[in-house]
Amino acid sequence: MTQWILQEFEDTHKLAEALDRLGIAYTWHKVVPFVGELIPAPIVTDPGSVIMFGSYTLWRNAKANGYQPGVFKLRPFVQEKAWHPYLLNGADALFLTLRDIPTQLTDDGREWFLRPVDDSKEEPGNVKSAGEIIRMAERVLTLDEDEIPGGSLRHDTLLMLTKPVRIMREWRLWAVNGRIVTYSLYKDGSRVVHRHEIDEDALAFGQRMVDINPGYSPAYVIDLCRTEEGLKLLETNCLNAAGFYAADLMKLAAAIDSFARD
């Protein structure tokens, strides 16, 4: 039997409702920020059959205790060669550490979409001018590295910078054991919407992205978008810590539980 460990969030309460309907047991815990320690400490009967949902720092707890599958920690998606032809502006991206930005990024008024390469949420993906990015970097670089709290931008954080592109629709898809099991629309033009729907070609594109990179991870979230140039891969995210939007949580929970048992 799989042991589910949940951190209390609005989203995880929605997941708990699905688990209740499926008859799957779980326990609630608080998480010490950045460290990942659980309060109360769970009583784990089989470390080889544990799944955790909550903040990204749970991966530290899963690793320290040898929980499997625990948390599905990902390699940076931009380093996956199979996906390079499909990335949003992947061919034109700049990769700079925060330390290099003041000397290697030109303050020319250009706008950039930036996000950390690692799936760590140190800085959410967003659009900033070159000047704003340089000033952000300079603020961090005034701090000694031992003064910077865990989970924050650091001197050696690697950032990806790309040209902003007009995006018409954005979807999140959940891949478990090589199969897209559920999905959600989360942006329609400039409007944030959460609806359990997806264009047929976007669903097929998402499954193709999973198929062409089978060794990436047993379970993860993949965000796709429709642009004027067609469908593109936006990013991947840790399934254990990504928002659910309007996903079918019954299907998602059942797929993860089945995978963890096997």
Q: How far apart are CA 194 and CA 191, in angstroms?
A: 10
Confidence of residue 62 (pLDDT cuts 50, 70, 90): very high
> Which two structure tokens, joined as six digits, stand for 195?
């609806």
> pTM for this one?
0.83
Q: Is residue 2 within 8 Å of 24, Cβ to Cβ?
A: yes
Element (H, E) at 132: helix 130-141
Pick the range with the lowest mean pLDDT from 11-20, 31-40, 74-83. Answer: 31-40
**Residue 192: is it exposed, middle or buried by C-beta count within 10 angstroms (0-12/13-18/19+)?**
exposed
Beta carbons of 83 and 233 less than 8 angstroms apart: yes
pLDDT at 124 over 80: no
Mean pLDDT of 79-103: 88
For residue 164, which of 117, 244, 234, 95 has the smallest C-alpha distance? Answer: 234
Which is nearest to 31 in space by CA: 2, 63, 53, 16? 53
Q: What is the pLDDT of residue 93?
A: 80
Place of tokens 């959940």: 174
If one compares 115 and 11, the residue with the highest pLDDT of the two is: 11
Confidence band, pLDDT 50/70/90 cuts, at residue 121: low
% of the chain beyond a pLDDT of 70: 97
Per-residue pLDDT for 118 more than 80? Answer: no
pLDDT in tens, 135-183: 999 999 999 888 877 778 889 899 989 888 889 999 999 999 999 999 9
Residues 63-90 as b or e (16 or more Cβ within 10 Å = b): eebebebbbbbbebbbebeebeebbbbb
Q: What is the DSSP string of 10-36?
A: HHHHHHHHHHHHHT--EEEEEE-TTT-
Q: What is the DSSP letter of 149?
A: P
Nearest to 174 by CA among 239, 121, 232: 239
Say if CB 92 and CB 110 are below 8 A apart: no
C-alpha distances in Å from residue 61, one per residue of 32, 36, 52, 261: 10, 5, 10, 20
Bridge partner list, 115: 160
The pLDDT of 203-208, averaged and rounded, is 98
> What CATH number does domain 165-237 carry, 3.10.450.750, 3.20.20.10, 3.90.850.10, 3.30.470.20?
3.30.470.20
Rounded Cα gap, residues 106 and 130, in angstroms: 7
